[in-house]
Structure 1
């Protein structure tokens, strides 16, 4: 049964918990773009705080379809994000194995936000060893069989408000307290091949 969702930037763990059991994900990129969402931001854990990495976009203030939103490369955000990821996870057990795949996408300077996010999502699914087919949602495809979770996973409300994700703690790099629902790269860099098992354990109704 396909699951319909938005396309996020290095999505939070909750998003992968939601799609983990599905064979097909349909991504709605024809929706109107929304600012201050996971579409262009993700969260990573640094030594002293949780950092939000945000991709600057062009025309995000106007009513524009997500598929038309372009990334603003006049701002030096690529180095900021890569340096942030390196300082957060450079000493993580699986960083040296997985980081080159992520870095390669950043270095392509992809024009459209959706194309950039799609490449990163494809890399993350590969590293998670999840066999999920990802397609863009065709609006004519009104399949009543689909599970629609659009609008559910929001950066503006806590995951506890939703019935998707129940954090299964894993070994993080900094601090004694476990921080849940960071970007999927936190999980990948810290536990590597065990990531998929953590996703299963994190399902609220597993």
Structure 2
């Protein structure tokens, strides 16, 4: 029996390419017990981009300072700053003139009203919200609930073996550090995502790709966004 699995960190308000991958998988393993990384161009754990009149801008979840090596699921939110109101104000300011603002904004208000203590919980709430809006049906498990002893590709294979995966669906960004041998040894086929970013109507000038998924939703609405994500 074929079982395709995606393994990925719980990023904040992820871009549409991530959800495109979930469309073709049976299970999403939330990689929540690896080191939290910030301050690099590859860090999307507590931020994502939206489009403004002055170009792209970070939408950021404010977190407490933590020692290097702290796991994602141990990163705490910082409630000394009203970052939730700041985020909602920034979203409202830049998307209030979008065609589907009234349809989408209440979902963001509900998301930001959720009481969470840690980043992973809040990020998963954002992912669950977008899974619902994109009408994606997928099972979810957490790597922190699975027992593993290895690292890197070997650990991914440990996880995949435990959930009886036959296929591992990976984003192409992982090709730079991918080691196929452990997958071959475990008889797990690696599939590389085939994703071409769609161009859709957008506010504020020339089209800008790789923004948070909320950009697509505000500009195209729920029904049309579902079709765009599926390449229809």
Instruction: Work out which of the residue numbers 2, 10, 20 in structure 1 matches 2:5.
Output: 2
Q: How does 1:4-153 map to 2 (within 5 A)?
A: 4-36=7-39, 37-137=43-143, 138-140=145-147, 141-143=159-161, 145-147=166-168, 149=170, 152=173
TM-score normalised to the size of structure 2?
A: 0.76
| Cα separation, 2, equivalents of 1:5 and 1:122 | 14
Cα shift at 1:109: 3.5
Deviation string, structure 1 residues 44-95 (Cα, Å, up to 9, x no partner): 0112211111212113442111011001111221111111111121121222
Kept in 2: contact 1:12–1:182 (CA 8 A): yes
| Rg (Cα) greater in structure | 2
Q: Name segments (4+ residues, structure 1) moved above 4 Å.
A: none
- Whether the 8 Å CA contact 2:22–2:136 is kept in 1: the answer is no
Structure 1 gaps of 5+ residues are 154-161
**Distance in 2, Cα, partners of 1:191 & 1:150:** 25
CA-CA distance at 1:178 after TM superposition: 0.8
Paired residue total:
193
Matches of 1:148 and 1:113, distance apart in 2: 25
More helix per residue: 2
Distance in 1 separating the partners of 2:52 and 2:67: 30
| Unpaired segments ≥5 residues, structure 2 | 148-158, 175-191
Contact 1:9/1:120 (<8 A) preserved: yes
1:126-205 mapped onto 2 (5 Å cutoff):
126-137=132-143, 138-140=145-147, 141-143=159-161, 145-147=166-168, 149=170, 152=173, 164-175=194-205, 177-192=206-221, 193-201=223-231
